[in-house]
Structure 1
Amino acid sequence: MKFATFVHDGKWQSGLVADGQVHPFEYPVELLDLIAEGEQSLRGAGERALTGSLPVPLADVRLLPPLRPPTVRDYMTFEAHVAGIAQGYGDTVPDEWYEAPAFYFTNPYSVIGAHDDVPVPPGCARFDFELEVAAVIGKPGRDLPPDQAREHILGYTILNDWSARDLQGREMKVKLGPAKGKDTATTLGPWLVTADELEPHRNPEGFLDLTLTVQVNGETVGQDRLANMAWTFEEMAAYASRGTWIRPGDVLGSGTCGNGGCLAELWGRNGLLEPPPLAPGDTVTMTVEGIGAISNTVVEGVAPIRLPPARSSR
């Protein structure tokens, strides 16, 4: 099943997507609330919507993020991406990367829909996209082994981790990881696809083998396969649950794919800003086999409000 959250005729709704249409749920309800009730409750609402509600063409709705996640963990599971970024700094993939699926927490308040405009972050001159797939947790768990973690993954969606590379590079020198460099927007969409729909794409090693493509203004700049991840989503979920809880609606981003999954990887490999950073008017389209496509246009942002430098004790 595919579930979407959308606006139609000024009214916010959620529902089931089928055959180019969306069937609203019987009663207005947050998708996250249905997820928290359990997969059976979510599927039951979808079945009732399919047979009992008047469908609306997808072309007539504005797609919102399928859910408002309580947390977003964004990983780095594609070795080619890590290697390309490292090359730009004259470096190689660190040994520590191979030891565990590293992630950072990003801003759940910055989540936007599949076709929303994206403002350039304040003060950013090197704006970038990042093509990812995200797993959505369906039930709580703690200290999960990977073989049990699969039953905790409800479904998948596309994630674009928009990145202000110049801001990110500066703030990461403080050794706290990315913050304002990742704070303005994260696209989730176009909908939530339940895990069973993608099971036919699972390869013998346990990875989902899906084609990933990203275009800028209609020109393909990156293409990879999801099976090139170094860890499965089940292993990522197990690591996320180590010593803590994962809960319904939590999002686990795969990290940026390789082979042009972001501009910064290409900059690192090319040794120059080519292709150029994103600018107002650019449209970034991401397509993932078995899930769908998202397409966002970059627009002018606002100027940063200046702050004084630190009051140093030196």
Structure 2
Amino acid sequence: MRFASYSHGGGLTRAGVVSDAGVHPLSPNESVLDLVRAGLPAALAAGTRALGEPAVPLDAVRLLPPLAPPTIRDFVAFEEHVEGIAGGVVPEWYEAPTFYFTNPYALIGAADDVPVPPGCELLDFELEVAVVVGRDGSSLSPEQAREQIFGYTVLNDWSARDLQRREMKVMLGPAKGKDFATTLGPWLVTADELEPYRDDDGFLALDLRAFVNGELVGQDLLSNMGWPFEELIAYASRGTEVRAGDVLGSGTCGNGGCLAELWGRRGQTEPPALRPGDLVELIVEGIGTVRNRVVPGLTLPPVGAARTRSVPRVRKRG
């Protein structure tokens, strides 16, 4: 089943179930996050009831991010991506899946515009799939984590590469290099829908494709992840909690899942960084397509530099 959040005619946000006829509204007081927290069986039952309601054509609605997650963790689970970005893979990458927390307030929908963030000259996309946790849990095993999965959606981790590079030289980040926009959409596909794509190693073998202005720039299989999603969830829960509605990104796929990987392999900024007017289209087999156009962003004053350290180490006493 495919659950979506949408607005129609400029009205309030509604949750619904997507079919070939369009989107069938759920109760006005139900959100997709409410359904996730209720559990997959209850959500499927609510979705089945909604399918009896008249559908609104998809071309008549604005698709919003499918849910408002309490947290978003984004992993770096594709070896080929790391190799292209960094010119090699450090041994520590193989020891455990690594992630960072990104900004849940910066989510955008499947067809929303993406403003260039202030001060950015090297804007990039990142083709990912995100898993949505369906139940609270702590220190889960991978087997337990698989039972916690509610569903999946497409994730575009937009990146200001020049800002990101500066921040990470300070041994922190990414921060402003990442927190301005993250696409989630077009809807949330329940886990049962994608089980037929699971390969013999337990990975989801979904075809992933990235286009810029109609030109194919990247293609990979989701099954090329170094760890399956249940291991990412288990690691995220290690010594702490994951909660229903949490979103975990796979990290960027390889073979052109972002421009920076191609820049690293080619030794030049080719294809060029994204500019206003560019259209980025990401297609994930079994889930759907997101299309976002880059538009001009805010022009803000430069950030003030830090003052240099003062000489006195103690306060003068009278």
Q: TM tier, shorter chain?
A: over 0.9
Written as runs of structure 1 = structure 2, the 5 A alignment for 1:43-122 is: 43-51=44-52, 53-87=53-87, 92-122=88-118
Written as runs of structure 1 = structure 2, the 5 A alignment for 1:178-257 is: 178-257=174-253
Identity of aligned residues (%): 64
Q: Secondary structure at the match of 2:169?
A: helix
CA distance in 2, matches of 1:26, 1:311: 55
Q: Secondary structure at the match of 1:29?
A: coil
Q: Tell me the amino acid that sits aligned with residue 42 of structure 1.
A: A
Match of 1:267 in 2: 263
CA distance in 2, matches of 1:9, 1:304: 33
Q: Secondary structure at the match of 1:204?
A: coil
> Does 2:32 correspond to 1:4?
no
Q: Tell me the amino acid that sits aligned with residue 46 of structure 2.
A: A
Q: Secondary structure at the match of 1:56?
A: coil
Match of 2:313 in 1: none
Structure 1: gaps of 5 or more residues: none
CA distance in 2, matches of 1:109, 1:299: 19
Match of 1:174 in 2: 170
CA distance in 2, matches of 1:116, 1:135: 21
Name the Cα RMSD after superposition.
Answer: 0.9
Higher mean C-alpha deviation, range 300-309 or range 13-22: 300-309
TM-superposed deviation, 1:312: 2.1
Asked whether the 8 Å contact 2:75–2:250 carries over to 1, the reply is: yes
Asked whether the 8 Å contact 1:26–1:45 carries over to 2, the reply is: no
CA distance 1:86–1:20, change in 2 (3 Å): farther
Q: Tell me the amino acid that sits aligned with residue 40 of structure 2.
A: E
Asked whether the 8 Å contact 2:207–2:221 carries over to 1, the reply is: yes
The structure number with the bigger radius of gyration is 2
TM-superposed deviation, 1:303: 1.3
Asked whether the 8 Å contact 2:15–2:28 carries over to 1, the reply is: no
Higher mean C-alpha deviation, range 71-80 or range 33-42: 33-42
TM-score normalized with structure 2 length:
0.96
Q: Tell me the amino acid that sits aligned with residue 207 of structure 1.
A: F
TM-superposed deviation, 1:18: 0.9
Match of 2:29 in 1: 28
Asked whether the 8 Å contact 1:26–1:48 carries over to 2, the reply is: no
Asked whether the 8 Å contact 2:218–2:256 carries over to 1, the reply is: yes
Q: Deviations over 1:180-201 (max 9, x none)?
A: 0001100000000000000000
Asked whether the 8 Å contact 2:152–2:190 carries over to 1, the reply is: yes
TM-superposed deviation, 1:299: 0.1
TM-superposed deviation, 1:76: 0.4
TM-score normalized with structure 1 length:
0.97
TM-superposed deviation, 1:44: 1.7
Q: Deviations over 1:12-42 (max 9, x none)?
A: 2111001141100133322112211222221
> Does 2:125 correspond to 1:138?
no
Structure 1's consecutive aligned runs of 4 or more residues displaced over 6 angstroms after TM superposition are: none
CA distance in 2, matches of 1:312, 1:40: 59
Q: Tell me the amino acid that sits aligned with residue 28 of structure 2.
A: Y
Asked whether the 8 Å contact 1:214–1:284 carries over to 2, the reply is: yes
Q: Tell me the amino acid that sits aligned with residue 68 of structure 1.
A: A
Q: Secondary structure at the match of 1:193?
A: strand
Match of 2:121 in 1: 125
Written as runs of structure 1 = structure 2, the 5 A alignment for 1:281-300 is: 281-300=277-296
Q: Tell me the amino acid that sits aligned with residue 43 of structure 2.
A: L
Match of 1:42 in 2: 43
Q: Secondary structure at the match of 1:104?
A: strand
TM-superposed deviation, 1:59: 1.1
